[in-house]
């Protein structure tokens, strides 16, 4: 895993290398870049895949004190990441958190040639559905997020409609979810 120092802290990322068109794959909240493992494998060496682990809960390295981790702050961090790696004309693939909209609205989309938005929050679907509303409610309570994610140590709880059960068509493998949640639970 490579890393790059940005204004908010160190971001880890995976880069497949190669001379093909650049595809940057961004994960959602409480996940990490492993979300895209099968996609990267499927694309093979036809494209250069870059998969950062953003500070959205599944990251292993803490961000600097005072780092702006709002939606706009993380979107600006993505723009800074593209700049630091000198990436141009990238295909930016977004999942879950809606940061692409913030990048475009903030005028920081100059390095993006194509934008793919998959399963992102928009308009009145924020926070998303029952799981999102539950998570937002827990976030308002002292220690609430820790309690919410502690529940996810119980593997059967991960498929409940109020947790991750309605967030994917097929169950996410437990080993993948363990990897995502480990930083949140330590």
Are 141 and 84 part of one and the same domain?
A: no
Render pLDDT for 143-177 as a digit per residue (tens, 0 to 9).
888 888 888 889 999 998 888 887 788 888 999 99
Residue 87, burial from CB neighbour count under 10 angstroms (0-12, 13-18, 19+): middle
Q: Which of 42, 1, 23, 30 is nearest to 112 (CA)?
A: 23
Are 120 and 41 part of one and the same domain?
A: yes
- Model pTM score: 0.88
The domain total for the chain is: 2
Percent of the chain with pLDDT over 90: 49
Between CA 93 and CA 26 the distance in angstroms is 6
- Segments forming the whole domain that contains residue 176: 127-186
């Amino acid at each position: 895993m490579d890393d790059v120092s940005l204004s908010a802290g160190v971001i880890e990322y995976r880069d497949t290398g190669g001379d093909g068109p650049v595809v940057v794959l961004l994960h959602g909240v409480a996940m990490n870049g492993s979300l895209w493992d099968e996609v990267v494998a499927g694309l093979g060496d036809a494209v250069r895949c870059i998969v950062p682990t953003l500070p959205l809960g599944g990251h292993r390295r803490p961000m600097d004190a005072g780092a702006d981790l709002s939606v706009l702050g993380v979107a600006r961090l993505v723009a800074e990441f593209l700049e630091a790696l000198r990436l141009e004309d990238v295909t930016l693939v977004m999942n879950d958190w809606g940061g692409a909209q913030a990048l475009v609205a903030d005028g920081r989309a100059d390095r993006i040639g194509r934008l793919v938005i998959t399963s992102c929050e928009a308009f009145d679907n924020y926070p998303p559905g029952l799981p999102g509303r539950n998570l937002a409610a827990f976030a308002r309570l002292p220690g609430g997020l820790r309690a919410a994610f502690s529940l996810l140590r119980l593997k059967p709880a991960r498929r409940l409609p109020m947790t991750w059960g309605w967030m994917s068509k097929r169950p996410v493998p437990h080993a993948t979810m363990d990897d995502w949640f480990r930083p949140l639970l330590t």
